[in-house]
């Protein structure tokens, strides 16, 4: 975390971060391929009082998915963001939809135990399935596709990290295959796990479709 100070209407960053963010404004440290999509062209500033059942604060994938699920259940919903809709972390993601923890399921189990690790996997797998279902249901053209993911031994990493991970991934019930070698130059001998049928998509095209589907159900979006 880093702190910022606002003076005379402009944000100031600690010196070590200035190089990264210079000229890009608050929070805009990077520009991604996704960002050319205007996710919510109808979004307007909120100047007046509004009534609703639920106000969702924050319009990334979490907030907009929540708004969609609530609107599906006939609730009246407002979404409010302090910035452009979907311009936060969701605009910068690698967009690989993986039901398993990047920081290793074996580490997760060590910290939280097997039951929580199982719940983590099951909820993330259900979330990926739900994205697949919604983009079909709502005809969202977001290049969703299933693809295999690989976890492979990094430079200097002991090989048994992969075997320990395999054990826990099997315990939580996720599909996994053991491999040696991945199709990258210099990685022919690396110990690896293959996770079949993970996912990927264009996150902001997906959210643009989700906003349209929300608006059809009466959701009001403000930024």
Q: Which residues bind ligand FAD (CB under 6 A)?
A: 57-63, 80-83, 87-90, 92-96
Residue 32 C-beta: closest distance to ligand FAD, Å: 8
Query: Which of these, 41, 81, 38, lies nearest to 223 by C-alpha position?
Result: 81
Residue 46 C-beta: closest distance to ligand FAD, Å: 11
Residue 181 C-beta: closest distance to ligand FAD, Å: 23
Q: Which is nearer to ligand FAD, 96 or 112 (CB)?
A: 96
Q: Which is nearer to ligand FAD, 60 or 209 (CB)?
A: 60
Contact criterion met (CB below 8 Å) for 182 and 194: no
Q: Which is nearer to ligand FAD, 25 or 158 (CB)?
A: 25
Residue 94 C-beta: closest distance to ligand FAD, Å: 3
Q: Which is nearer to ligand FAD, 21 or 186 (CB)?
A: 21
Six token digits for residue 141: 């053209």
3-state secondary structure 49-101: CCCCCEEEECCCHHHHHHHHHHHHCCCCEEEECCCCCCCCHHHCCCCEECCCC
Residue 159 C-beta: closest distance to ligand FAD, Å: 25
Question: By beta-carbon distance, which residue lies closest to ligand FAD?
Answer: 60
3-state secondary structure of 202: coil
Q: Which is nearer to ligand FAD, 95 or 176 (CB)?
A: 95
Q: CA 64, 65, 66 angle in degrees (round to 5)?
A: 90
Q: Which is nearer to ligand FAD, 58 or 75 (CB)?
A: 58
Backbone angles phi, psi at 26, to 5 degrees: -60, 125
Q: To the nearest 5 percent, what fractions of the chain are helix, strand and coil?
A: 40, 20, 45
Residue 182 C-beta: closest distance to ligand FAD, Å: 17
């Amino acid at each position: 975390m880093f702190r910022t100070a606002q003076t005379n209407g402009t944000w100031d960053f600690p010196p070590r971060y200035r190089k990264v963010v210079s000229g890009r404004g608050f929070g805009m440290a990077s520009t991604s391929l996704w960002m050319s999509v205007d996710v919510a062209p109808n979004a307007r500033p909120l100047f007046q009082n509004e009534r609703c059942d639920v106000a969702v604060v924050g319009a990334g994938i979490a907030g907009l998915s929540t708004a969609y699920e609530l609107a599906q259940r006939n609730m009246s919903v407002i979404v409010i963001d302090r910035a452009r809709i979907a311009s936060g972390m969701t605009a910068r993601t690698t967009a690989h939809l993986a039901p398993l923890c990047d920081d290793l399921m074996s580490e997760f189990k060590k910290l939280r135990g097997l039951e929580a690790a199982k719940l983590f996997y099951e909820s993330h797998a259900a979330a990926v399935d739900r994205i697949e279902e919604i983009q079909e249901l709502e005809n969202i053209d977001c290049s969703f596709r299933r693809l295999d993911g690989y976890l492979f031994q990094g430079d200097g990493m002991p090989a048994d990290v992969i075997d320990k991970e395999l054990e826990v991934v099997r315990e939580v019930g996720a599909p996994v295959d053991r491999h040696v070698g991945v199709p990258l130059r210099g990685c022919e001998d690396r110990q690896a796990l293959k996770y079949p049928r993970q996912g990927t998509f264009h996150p902001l095209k997906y959210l643009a479709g989700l906003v349209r589907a929300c608006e059809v159900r009466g959701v009001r979006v403000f930024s």
